Amino acid sequence: MLRECQWRKEMAEKWSWMLAPWTRCWSWRGNGVGQEDDRHVRANDREYNDKFSYADNHIKTSKYNVITFLPMNLFEQFQRVANAYFLVLVILQVIPEISSLPWVTTTVPLVLVLVITAVKDATDDYFRYKSDQQVNNRQSLVLRGSLQNEKWMHVRVGDIIKLENNQFVAADILLLSSSEPHGLCYIETAELDGETNLKVRQALTVTSDLDADIAKLADFNGEVICEPPNNKLDKFKGTLYWRGNKYPLDNEKMLLRGCVLRNTDWCFGMVIFAGLQTKLMQNCGRTTLKRTSIDKLMNTLVLWIFGFLVCMGVILAIGNTIWEQKVGRSFRDYLPWDSTISNNNAVFSGFLTFWSYIIILNTVVPISLYVSVEVIRLGHSYFINWDRKMYYGPKDTPAEARTTTLNEELGQVEFIFSDKTGTLTQNIMVFNKCSINGKTYGDVYDEFGHKVEITEKTTCVDFSFNHLSDGKFRFHDSSLVEAIKMEEPSVQEFFRLLALCHTVMSEEKNEGDLVYQAQSPDEGALVSAARNFGFVFRSRTPETITLYEMGAAVTYQLLVILDFSNVRKRMSVIVRNPAGQIKLYCKGADTIIFDRLDPSNEDLMDTTSEHLNEFAGEGLRTLALAYKVLDRGLFEEWMRRLLLASTVMENREEGLAALYEEIETGLMLLGATAVEDKLQEGVPETIACLSLANIKIWVLTGDKLETAMNIGYSCNMLRDDMDEVFIISGHTAGEVQEQLRSAREHILGLSRVGSDVGLEKTEMLSDDSVFEETIIAEYALIINGHSLAHALEPELEQMLLETACLCKTVICCRVTPMQKAQVVQLVKTNKMAVTLAIGDGANDVSMIKTAHIGVGISGQEGMQAVLASDYSFAQFRFLQRLLLVHGRWSYFRMCNFLFYFFYKNFAFTLVHFWFGFFCAFSAQTVYDQWFITLFNIVYTSLPVLAMGLFDQDVNEANSHRYPSLYRSGQLHLLFNKRQFFLCTFQGIMTSFLLFFIPYGASSLGVRDDGLDISDYQSFAITIATSLVIVVSVQIGLDTYYWTAVNHLFVWGSLATYFAILLALQSDGLYLIFPSQFRFIGSARSCLAQWSVWLVTLLTTVMCVMPGIAVRFLKSELRPTVTDKVRSLQKAISKQSPRELNLRRVRRTSSRRSAYAFSHQQGYGELITSGKNMKVSTAAPSPSIHSPGWVQNGTGLLENGMKRKDACFVPSEHSGTWEGMERTEQVPETICSGSKGTQQTLIDSRGNSNGDI
Amino acid sequence: MPKEQDLANRPDNTAFTQQRLPAWQPILSAGIVIPGFVLIGLAFIGIGVALFLTSRSIQVQEFDYTGVDTTSSCYMCSSTNVPNCVCYVNFTLTTKFQGMVYFYYALSNYFQSHRKFGASRDYYQLSGDTTYFTAPLDVCIPFQYANTTPIVPCGLSANSLFNDTFKLYQIVNGTTKLVPFDGRGIAWWSDYNIKYQNPKVTPLKDAFKGTAKPVNWPKPAYELDTTDPSNNGFVNQDFLVWMRRAALPNFWKLYRRITDPDYVGGLPAGNYSIEITYNYPVISFNGKKRVVLSNVSWMGGRNPFLGIAYLVVGSLCIVMSIVMLIVYAKFKFPDDV
């Protein structure tokens, strides 16, 4: 079903840069019928529902059928300006008075273009049709009195359908009942948002009582009144009216089309939205059309060419008027005026001539340009898809160009906006080091006591003593295992804490095959570490945690979870061990923990603090661990107050926080953990290389400031040798403004001092953004989400932009998806620069869509970013290749292609202009009509295509090695208006020489047998031959990289020219069509003449030599980087390429790193309530541990949700929980689970008190 | 290593897909460009000298007989409108006219290159298709029908057929001796044999029944050369020469060759006279009429332009190569160190 969406996206982008009002019709269609205010649906009542004419469940994404294809496709095609233009030309050509060219000359290329496009459209549409068919014919069980098998397309709004396990949901349906208790059912939404984790939906209690009772279901006559169709996947508002009662409906009760039912035997649902009105289809809405800057330039240029064409027409028309006045008037004996003219005057003749010239000069607007550009882009896209160096083996993911229209823009990127998690980092946390009781573990030393660099080959610690260990876990320092085996109490306690104090869920499918479901990867890493070191977290119930401590099962009573929050920056658990001892285990940010330690810990604290600094210096994320033995009496007293506090309606949270604070004091320090946030492979090198290419990389992350900075350091974006790192973290607009201003003044003030040094550089780069270039000192700007919200206000955004652009590195943290898009938009609109956004998650979708180019990281769980993206690949480091190799080549090729194409057409066409002065401005063409027809589509199309597809100025190794080559794209150097003028100038000069050299040579030309060859046909053939040779030589000179294909096409085209020339002027064709092939015999007669070949040679040399000379002198006097690299490449092609040393230098920083908590609040409650424990959920009696639950089942969680909804800032998270959609889905799951078991909870309230 | 089926999506490793096609990568280096320019320059100068000398060796005699000048013998013919008015151009050859001599007539300011001259003819007619005799194509307008009778050959081009005739006399000791002209082989082989064909009707006249002659013509097409059926009608060589339309407003058209055995080595020095039957009016549009005697070489007729152009381009190439050498020496060598 994703394909459905994809098709539409592709369709929309195809030819998008031409006017395509048709697409507007399409989206109108997608939006459904008319304006629907509220939707009324009554179950099992067709007649009632039919009144509203809702869309049925038949899906049609194909555009045509056999009959409508031709008219519709043609209609669509002729809405493109270029095609329409050529159609007008054909019409003009039919008018005899002005027809200067037979209509075939334009029709043949036009038909060719139309046919190629139509074939492409037809194949696309056929595949769409096939997939539609497949979807429409899926079977579904529909309740029509009894259950009947129906095709999907016959499902109607209001029908009750039955879904079975692993079936696709056929339409947007309201869940009525299911096989699971409480009307729960599980769905997978991979097709909707790409997430493969299960989500829970729950039916209303009243409807879930219907169960699978067909009779009851058939009698069900509830009416749903709900919102009209929209594309919000996560929102639904409606009300069910049944038996006189009202029941509110929300998204939790909806199963959307495209989901798959999982782990649920069956469920019944009532169709609310069908077919095109389903949320899935509504979501397939067109993305904004992206056009490259070359596209825009090309369109401008085509307009200019139109203008130029009209000017030419006017000049020649005036010439014609004058000629008719001065000469034609007296030449009437031989050339009488048409009746139309003679009655009027020469001006009218000029008017007709204007149109005639428009016809014959039409080839300056090349009809094959657009098609060729499409072909070239398609080719470039395939090269990206085929690139093995962008293929990621471990995930079997090749790179994919999802749009074919943006390739050359990849060579012009100036700003990269990157997400952090999953893009720069792998989102894999590795337990790397720890400090236990003042001793560090994790480093490996050789026999001389030197630290050994840990590589893949370093031997790992053997965990075979522990049959529950995780084979994937790698640890290199065996001293820790020894310590464990020695049963050192602090080490044991350390790992016991890690095994107890967390919110991880375990799943044990087979004996010993433990799978942890951690909601933050940090925690997963820590619990896994504890598992391997012999403290295996095996299972939990709402009130117990079972560990296998060195092989023996130990069950702890879980008394309270003091959950994590942003403010607390720590979490604790209070457990009772089998010995009856009550202990509090706490882990959290070091600063927080240190504040709450017992004074006796001072020495240990100092050592641990040193270790923490060391860890931080290596870019590791740290947590401090502490414990406390609680006195039973004190705890019970505290517990009582906690229960009380949790019943209070007002300020409940503050009350709870204070209580937590109270018990988390006097802790005993155990040590610290260090977790590595693994960067993706090659990230620092890629970033270094890209910044050498003068691409500015901004990191936009939802992460915390510390985490973001940490990653900034580890991927070399931030360095200790930077002059200044500005951190903007104001809470009011004023503060932010002040901070920005001072940062800016700081930079500018310093740069003025250093401006003498920068002077030279300024002169060298005297193009744009001179000022920014003069700043040599390196600055970094880090801005958090709150400040960004202020900074993005209209009055501050300019200042933000200026300051940010002065800095080498910009990191925005705690950014919402919307803000990501805003930042991109800010740069996009103000900097006139090409922006690229790269991300992997749903939270990056907005920025991916906003940026000129969106790149998605594929091969991971979520698909949304990829679906919204223009390019996708599996690893961040492929970006370097995409930009520096593919992008640069694409840009280079496209520019060369355009340069040559315009040149060629000007050289070809303007000969007519010069001839105008010698043919009485009568719109006589210089060439044979066949030559005009075939020149662009046969004689010269393939060599330039081959150049556009295969050319390489510099090979890929050097493209990587010399990132400064990329500069030319950013500065639009290869094709711009100046280049356009140059190529038109070259074209005009060529046409001038092409005309006047044969003119001079053959004006009174005589053959070697005395026959005159100053005739028109010989003249035409001389010029045409010269032209074909000149443009072929020129493409030869413009081609840097002569593959066999280039040779074949260039030589083949020349050969084809002569072959066709002789064929078209052969006797046979003339005898069949005398008036079409009038040039009979001319080629034979002409090409046998020395003088013709001498003229051709002279013309070729004269047209080509100046170009070569200029190019040579340019490369000598002012060599571009490309020139230098090319000659270098030539010179050292035999030597092996030297390694580019961009390896990351391990920094020695004193900075304290981020603490390893990428947690989301609210999980503690979830665990103690047991809602997320699937099998054991309903049965065990929930106990008092979750204070909030007892009195108010959903209280705490609802608060949690509200928090999320209200601020929408992805709160404490870094991992999977980053982002809008995901953030919201977490509470969804929680809530549906919680409500499901709500009744059980309340019922068993009485008992639960007795537990303590 | 993952297994083979795990790599189902791995792109093929071919030179084409990986953009590693073997390629020749020429660079415009000094080692190629400068010697290249020198070579081309030298070659061009060589060709230029050859062309220039050849062109100089070609003899051309040209005489204007428009009759604008009152002293001209054709003044009478041009100012009055007498049909078949005869006038003379006399000239003296001081040296022998070498080789085969070609006799051309030349028109200037005559726009046979106008689009309508090209368009206004019916190729079906001219290739002998009699169905188009009764219904000529519309392109022939305004010479499609004379009143209602179809014109054959129709159209502007045919209508404006050049109809001055020439005779060349050698004056030997006061007596005039006709230099015989050869009217064959003056048209293109393909025109004569393929492109233009008379209808396969004998006598030819019958094919033209119910048609009118072109308005300007004194006699119909089937009477163009009554003496020689193979030079009559649409295959009349004078007609073919005229119908092969000139590209530019000033043009020569071959009238006759001198193939007579008496003159096979050329025209000896002496006095000559050309007798002109003056019919074709050109004065009204400032046209000029000339007769031209010329011989040819391997490169065709006299054409100083080509030789000079080659010399100029050749020299420019040499100059450019020197400039490039200087630039190269000045800018390149310090860099290389």
A837/A860 Cα distance (integer angstroms): 17
> How far is residue A1244's CA from residue A1237's CA, in Å, rounded to a whole number?
11
Of B196, B194, B184, nearest to B225 by C-alpha is B184
Pairing type for strands A809-813 and A400-401 reads: unpaired
| Residue-level pLDDT at A1058 | 95
Q: Is A386 in contact with B7 (Cβ distance < 8 A)? A: no
Spatial contact of A802 and A696, defined as CB atoms under 8 Å apart: no
Q: Is B288 on the interface with A (CB under 8 A)?
A: no
Instruction: Please give the pLDDT value at position A383.
Output: 93
pLDDT at A952 over 80: yes
Please determine, for residue A721, whether its predicted confidence score (pLDDT) is greater than 60: yes
What one-letter code names the amino acid at A740?
A: L
Query: What's the total number of domains in chain B?
Result: 1
| Chain B residues with CB-CB distance to A920 below 8 A | 111, 113-114, 249
**Taking a C-beta distance cutoff of 8 angstroms, is the pair A576, A1177 a contact?**
no
- Asked if A1094 and B13 come within 8 Å (Cβ–Cβ), the reply is no
Q: Of residues A1161 and A528, which shows the higher confidence score?
A: A528
Give the integer Cα–Cα distance in Å for A178 and A158. Answer: 18
Q: Give me the mean pLDDT over the A1198-1217 stretch.
A: 34
Lowest mean pLDDT among A215-224, A349-358, A594-603, A996-1005: A996-1005
Q: Are strands A552-562 and A570-576 parallel, antiparallel or unpaired?
A: antiparallel
Of the candidates B25, B29, B159, the beta carbon closest to that of A1040 is on B25
Distance CA A198, CA A186 (A): 6
Residues A746, A573: Cα–Cα separation, whole Å: 47
At residue A1193, does pLDDT exceed 80?
no
Do residues A395 and A964 lie in contact, with contact meaning Cβ atoms separated by under 8 Å? no
Say yes or no to pLDDT of A921 above 80. yes
Does A1203 score more than 70 pLDDT?
A: no
| A1098 to chain B: closest CA residue | B310
Residues 6 or more apart whose Cβ sits within 8 Å of residue A298: A369, A373, A898
Is pLDDT of A1246 > 60?
A: no
- Closest by CA position to A1126, among listed A962, A975, A968, A969: A962
**pLDDT the model gives residue B103:** 92
Residue B162 domain-assigned (yes or no): yes
Token pair of A262, please?
A: 């999982």
Higher pLDDT, A3 or A746: A746
Q: Which of A850, A788, A790, A864 has its CA nearest to residue A821?
A: A850
A720 is in an annotated binding site: no
The answer to whether B23 contacts A1042, with C-beta atoms less than 8 Å apart, is yes
| Mutation site, A376, A1015, A1099, interface B, largest B CB count within 10 A | A1015
Backbone phi and psi for residue A416, each to the nearest 5 degrees, phi listed first: -115, 130
Q: Chain A window 68-107: which residues touch B at a Cβ cutoff of 8 Å?
A: 96, 100
Confidence of residue A1003 (pLDDT cuts 50, 70, 90): low
In a domain, B280, yes or no: yes
Question: DSSP code of A546?
Answer: E
For residue A539, name the pLDDT band (cuts at 50, 70, 90): confident
A398 to B9: CB separation less than 8 angstroms, yes or no: yes
Mean pLDDT of A646-661: 82
Residue with more model confidence, A192 or A568? A568
Interface check A1048 vs B, CB under 8 A: no
pLDDT category of residue A243 using cuts at 50, 70 and 90: confident
Cβ A303 vs Cβ A210: under 8 Å: no
For residue A1208, the Cα-to-chain-centroid distance in whole angstroms is 22
Amino acid in the structure at residue A495: F
**B66 contacts: CB under 8 Å, gap ≥ 6:** B72, B74, B78, B282, B283, B287, B288, B289, B290
pLDDT at site B26: 85
Instruction: To the nearest 10°, report the CA torsion of A95, A96, A98, A100.
Output: 110
pLDDT over 70 at A29, yes or no: no
- Of A169, A289, A224, A228, whose CA–CA distance to A32 is shortest? A228
pLDDT at A895: 93
| Separation CA A364–CA A312 (nearest Å) | 11
Rounded Cα distance, A673 and A497, in Å: 11
Please indicate, yes or no, if residue B36 is contained in any of the structural domains. Answer: no
With a CB cutoff of 8 Å and minimum separation 6, the contacts of B288 are B64, B66, B106, B107, B108, B109, B282
Contacts of B212 (CB under 8 A, 6+ apart): B145, B146, B149, B150, B151, B152
**Would B311 be classed as within a structural domain?**
no
CA–CA separation, A308 and A316 (whole Å): 12
Contact criterion met (CB < 8 Å) for A396 and B186: no
Produce one character per residue of A231-250: b if its CB has 16 or more CB atoms within 10 Å, e if not. eebeebebebebeeeebebe
Does residue B281 form part of some domain?
Answer: yes
Which of residues A1094 and A1245 earns the better pLDDT score?
A: A1094
Q: What is the pLDDT of residue A26?
A: 36
pLDDT for A750: 59
Q: Identify the DSSP state of A1155.
A: B
| Average of per-residue pLDDT values in chain A | 79
pLDDT for position A1237: 33
Residue A631 scores a pLDDT above 80 = yes
| A676 labelled binding-site residue | no
pLDDT confidence of residue A1068 = 85
Residue A893: what pLDDT? 93
φ, ψ for residue A708 (rounded to 5)?
A: -60, -45
> What's the pLDDT at B78?
81
More confident residue, A251 or A1240: A251
Amino acid identity, residue A204?
L
pLDDT at residue A1039, rounded to an integer: 92
How many residues make up chain A in this entry?
A: 1252
The pLDDT value recorded for residue A287 is 52
Active site residue A768: no
Extract the residue ranges of chain B whose pLDDT is less than 70.
Answer: 1-6, 332-337
- Residues A70 and A65: their CA atoms lie apart, in Å, by 9
Q: Is residue B24 part of a domain?
A: no
Asked if residue A485 has pLDDT above 60, the reply is yes
Chain A residues within 8 A of B297 when measuring between CB atoms: 1008
pTM: 0.80
Portion of chain A with pLDDT greater than 90, in percent: 18
Structure tokens at A822: 């805003």
Res. A396: pLDDT tops 50: yes
- Chain A, 912-971: which have a CB under 8 Å from a chain B CB? 915, 918-920, 922-924, 950, 952, 956
Length of chain B (residues)? 337
Digit-coded pLDDT (tens) for A840-872: 877 788 888 889 999 998 877 667 788 778 899
Q: How confident is the model at residue A939 (pLDDT cuts 50, 70, 90)?
A: very high
Q: Which domain holds residue B289?
A: 82-295
A232 pLDDT more than 70: yes
Confidence of residue A595 (pLDDT cuts 50, 70, 90): confident
Pairing status of strand A834-839 against strand A853-857:
parallel
Mean pLDDT for the stretch of residues A348-375: 86
Rounded mean pLDDT of A994-1019?
83
Q: What is the rounded distance in angstroms from the CA atom of residue A116 to the CA atom of residue B1?
A: 44
| pLDDT above 70: residue A647 | yes
Query: Beta strand pairing status for B101-108 and B288-294?
Result: antiparallel
Residue-wise pLDDT tens digits, A173-182: 999 888 877 7
What is the C-alpha to C-alpha distance for residues A898 and A1217, in angstroms, rounded to an integer?
A: 46
B260 in any annotated domain: yes
Across A332-346, A438-452, A565-579, least confident range: A332-346
- Indicate whether A267 pLDDT > 80: yes
> Is A860 exposed, middle or buried (CB count within 10 Å of its CB: 0-12, 13-18, 19+)?
buried
Residue from the list B109, B254, B320 with its beta carbon closest to the beta carbon of A1109: B320
Q: Compute the distance between CA of residue A968 and CA of residue A974 in angstroms, rounded to an integer.
A: 7
List A419, A477, A522, A677, catalytic entry: A419
Tell me the range of A92-106, A318-332, A899-913 where mean pLDDT is highest.
A899-913
Is residue B9 included in any domain, yes or no? Answer: no
DSSP A668: E
DSSP labels, A88-119: HHHHHHHSTTT--S-THHHHHHHHHHHHHHHH
Task: Please tell me the predicted confidence (pLDDT) of residue A1227.
Answer: 34
